[in-house]
Amino acid sequence: MADLALAPVIVILRGVTPETTLSVCKAIAAGGVRFIEVTLNSPKPLESIARAAKEFSGSGVHIGAGTVLSPEEVDAVAEAGGRYIISPNSDPSVIRRTRERGLISIPGFLTPTEAFMSVAAGADLLKCFPVGRMGPGYIKDLKAVLPVPVLAVGGVSASNAREFLASGACGVGVGSCVYRANRTSEEISEGATALIQACREEGQ
């Protein structure tokens, strides 16, 4: 996930279809985003992941899966070509299978207990969710004790992304502020660009 330091945004595609996946992903990539997550509660998500993974192979744009809840789903994502596994919860069996398949593990947590359970199971990064209700200060407090990078997800937008990064988050995960099914490619690209610009302003 070294590229996350250059463009610390993961765009979450919830509800995307295989027919629109490539055009949506291209619009997001045009805005400078390098990490795109297809949630498994989308229509035919594995087909979308497979199409995007093939299209962007070797391009520097990384495709992963979100809302992954079981080891079996990890296997399916690996076969489809996904690079990383993101979950809304802390499940050691999912984390272990992710590591066994050579993928990057990003489980979700809200409490320190959940975070350290995920770290013990082998998580590479942690997803603090829903962070919007907790605020940037919560990330700062957690980073004082957590040994792995933390993503801020849930309630993050271009208007507050820099606050979470300044508090110690390694990146932010965003959904509807960039992608919604009724948005044009131009609107999606503009949303992605706004997020990247906000994050880079924090790094200046």
Q: Which of 37, 44, 79, 190 is catalytic?
A: 37
Express each pLDDT in 48-106 by its tens digit: 999 999 999 999 999 999 999 999 999 999 999 999 999 999 999 999 999 999 999 99
Express each pLDDT in 127-185 by its tens digit: 999 999 999 999 999 999 999 999 999 999 999 999 999 999 999 999 999 999 999 99
Instruction: Give which of 75, 9, 69, 11 is closest to 40, Cα–Cα.
Output: 69
DSSP 4: G
pLDDT at 204 over 50: no
Instruction: Give which of 61, 155, 88 is closest to 49, Cα–Cα.
Output: 61
Residue 202: per-residue pLDDT: 53
Dist CA 75 CA 77 (whole Å): 5
- Is 143 annotated in the active site? no
pLDDT at 2 over 90: no
Q: State the residue for tokens 């829903």.
A: 130
Q: Which of 44, 47, 100, 127 is catalytic?
A: 127
What are the sequence ranges of the domains in the chain? 7-203
- Order of all β-strands in the sheet with 84-86: 104-106, 84-86, 62-66, 35-39, 9-13, 171-174, 150-153, 126-128, 108-109
Torsion angle in degrees (nearest 10) through CA of 193, 194, 195, 197: 80
Say whether 178 sits in a helix, a strand or coil.
coil
- Kindly report the pTM of this predicted structure: 0.95
- Is 37 annotated in the active site? yes
> What topology does CATH give the domain 7-203?
TIM Barrel (3.20.20)
